[in-house]
Structure formats: C-alpha cells, structure tokens
A and B are shown apart, each in its own frame.
Chain A
Amino acid sequence: MQFNILAKRRLTLALLAGLALTGTAVQAQTALDDVLKAKVIKIAIPTDYPPYGFVGIDLKPQGLDIDMANYIGQKLGVKVELIPVISANRIPYLQTRKADLVISTLGKNPDREKVIDFTAAYSPFFQAVFASKSLSIKSFNDLVGKSVGVTRGAMEDQELAKVVPAGVDVKRFEDNNATISSFISGQVQVIATGASVAGTIMTKNPGLNTEYKLLLKDSPNFIGVGKGEDKLRLKVNEIIAQARKAGDIDKMSQKWLGRSAGELPL
C-alpha cells in the first residue's frame, strides 16, 4: 500500500517535471496581466515551517510568509489565493504556473536561478544566539561563564565554534528537540539555533521572554517568480522597496522573528 502511494507520488513528480520543462518554453510574460485581469493572485506558502508559515488553532495558515503574501495581494489590489506547498514542490508549482509567486522561505542559489527568477529579499533567515531578556549579552565575550545549548553538527554548531571564546560552556545535544527542551527547562541559559526554531520557542513559551541576541549567519529569503516574468518581478520588487521604506518589512520581521529585518540584499 505504502509502496503504491510512493510510486504514484513519484509518477506525479515525474509528470510535473515533464510539464515544467515544456511549460517554461512556452511561458510568455503575461503573469502580471493575468493576475490583474482575474483579480486573483495564486501564492505558494509553507504550512510546515513556523514562524514563516504554519497552521494556527483556527486551521488557517499564518506566519510571516502568509503576511507577506497578503501584503502583496493588497498592494496589487487583488484577492490572494494561498496554496500550501512543501519545500520539495515549491519550485515545480511555479514552473507549472500553478502559482504566480512562491513566498516560502526560498533561498537564492545558482541552481535555482537557472529555472526560476527571484525578486529582492523580503525577510531574513538566520542562525543566531537567543536568550532571555533579563540576560545581558552584547557580544560573544559576554557568553563566557554561561551555558549555551546547540544541536550537535548543525550549521549553528559549526558557526558557533568559529566565534565563541574559551570559557563558554557549550552543551551539544542530539537533535533540535533535545536542544529546545534543555533551553525551555532552563538547563541552558542561552540557545544557538535557526530563526524558525527560535520563533517557535517564542510563540509557544512567551513566559521565557526569549529575545534575539547575536547573529551567527545570515541567509535571507527571496520571492520566486516564473522564469522570464519580468513585469511581475519588477512590480513585486517595487512593492518590496516601498514596504521597506515604510518600515512594513521590519514590522513583519519583528512580529514573527523578534528582530528587525536588517540589511536585506536586492
């Protein structure tokens, strides 16, 4: 039974990939006009990646990416149709024009740039050091004498190893869950982790007063548009630039990630 489903899924993926190949060839630059004519924009968002995109108690998607999607819809003056996607199928949805935009913690890399285009960055994604507000941590030297929990072998473990001075009590745990438990139960005072994990800790345990302290590594998110859809891409870039000027980008980042967006690449 399991095998059947898997086989089917694989077939669907293969078909999607096939469609994608033919799709890009005939794609004309009409996405923006189509959206404005239909008065609906289809935006692919995550529902499995808090705080960027997750399902709330009311079973509706919410999060930074969803806020951004609604923001763009509002600026374009069209209705937003949210399409839940997972990491693996975000790009195929765009290639097959099942979505006009992908706002789903999408990082930019050369391989992806071959098949889709990217707008300016709209939100930060980062590994950082987090701790309670009552703890004063201004630099990595302030970590001396404190216990820092981190998941062994994760990106943040490697980044942390590069910057921490001697005398910091780094405790390495087996997986994210153990690291989170150690921080929530107070076994470690400081946690080094990704923005999404920290965001979850903040929303689920507001009593801990966790806040962003120090940056370990930045890798911001971009919005994906279909290859060659320059009109739509430029329009979204315009909206992002205005949102940045108006402080709305910072507001969203502050709301969901607990820190301002900082310098985002264009």
Chain B
Amino acid sequence: MRIELDFLSVLTEWPLLVKGVAWTVGLTSVSTVLGLFLGVVLAWSRVHGNLPLRALAGSYVETIRNTPFIVQLFFIYFGLPAMGLRLAPETASIIAMVVNLSAYATEIIRAGIEATPKGQIEAGKSLALSSGQIFTHVVLPPALRKVWPALVSQIIIVMLGSAVCGQISTEELSHAANLIQSRNFRAFEAFIIATLTYLSLSMALRRLLNWIGPRFLFGR
C-alpha cells in the first residue's frame, strides 16, 4: 500500500491553523488561572470550611469528576439556553474548562494541604499568625510544591480536552484541522499536523509551568 502525503494542501490553510492554536492557547491560559484559583478556594472549603460549605464543595467535586467533559460542555452550551442563559461558544468552552479543571485541582491541592505536618501549623500559631495567614503563607506554598507535578499534568489534560470544544463551533486547533480535512479530504495530513502541534504545545506548557511554579507560586 502506498500512501501519498500532501502536507502542502493543509499548510496552505495556515491562517486557520494559527487561529486554532491561538484559541487553544487562549482557552487553556484563561482556564488554568481561573481553574487553579477556584481549586484552591474549594480545597480550603473541603478542609477548613464549615459543614454546609464542605458538603457543597464535596458534591461539586464529585459531580464534575464523575461526568464526562463533553456532557458538561453540551449542558452549558445547549442546556442552559433553556433557562434563558445564552453563551457564546467560546465563553461556554472557558466555563466548562474552568469548572472541569477546578474540580480535579481541588482534590490534588487538598492532598497537598492535608499532607502538611502539624508542627508547621503549630509553629505558625506560636508566631501569632491568623488562620488566614497560616493558610496562605505556611500551608499553601509547600502544599502546592508537593503536588505541582500532578497539577501540571492535569492542566495539560485539560488543554488536550479542549479539542472537544470544536464540537460547539469554538474554532480551536482540532476544529481547524477538521475543517481543513472536510474541505480538501486530506484527513491524514491534517491530523498529523494537529497531533504534532498538540505535542509541542504540551511540552512547551509543561516547561513553562515548571518554570513559573517555583518562581511565582511557591519559593524554591
């Protein structure tokens, strides 16, 4: 069997591909920032919150972690308009990604928080720090450092999951690849290019996050 590859006919559509990469990167950056912030808040609620707050955070995490991403996405985009809430596909995608990432991040960060040695918290107390100060300065930084590799992996999974957002006409990378192959029927070439792009995006993102984390989120 001979396969003739014609990458040129895909690459001539480069404006679509560039736009797709831009959307994938954009969706991922926004949802990473918001998702991690929400994850920390929810993790705090699950560990230190009062009973109703713990239950709320717990059921949120369980609901999101036990339903497929695409169903969450369709619920937000096709379901919510029935309640009068109509969102642009891009907004719906970001919300779905934030919601998804925050639920997984909650559990990862919670593991880090709970692994904090008691003595450390007692040391904070003996220095007369408030409980808020203890959480942000004594508990959280080492907790994040412990779980950072797991969080980075989760962020990459969410970025790769954004490929599904093309289903609701968000013009991210796999939507672009799909559009190109439905126009010129060069499916193999289009998806080879998409695969390589995702691969390099993932590797770059992992390096970037491994660089950012120690410098800005928790000291070395």
Contacts and interface: CB of A to CB of B under 8 A. Distances in A.
A171 interface: yes
B215 to A, nearest CB: 40
A78 B140 CA distance: 85
Interface residues of B, number: 17
Per DSSP, are chain B's interface residues mostly helix, strand or loop, or mixed?
Answer: helix
Interface string B145-189: 000000000000000000000111100000100110011000000
B82 interface: yes
B168 A173 contact: yes
A178 B168 contact: yes
Interface string B72-83: 001001110110
B48 interface: no
Nearest to B77: A187
Contacts, number: 42
A185 B169 CA distance: 14
Per DSSP, are chain A's interface residues mostly helix, strand or loop, or mixed?
Answer: mixed
Interface in A184-201: 185-187
A186 B86 CA distance: 8
B177 to A, nearest CB: 11
Contacts of A149: 169
How many A residues touch the partner, as a band?
10 to 19
- Of the candidates B74, B78, B166, the one having the most CB atoms from chain A within 10 angstroms of its own CB is B78
Nearest to B181: A153
A182 B182 contact: no
Interface of A: 149, 152-153, 157, 171-174, 178, 181-182, 185-187
Given A153-B183, A172-B169, A186-B86, 17 more contacts: A152-B179, A152-B182, A153-B182, A157-B182, A172-B175, A173-B167, A173-B168, A173-B169, A174-B167, A174-B178, A181-B78, A182-B168, A185-B77, A185-B81, A185-B86, A186-B81, A187-B86
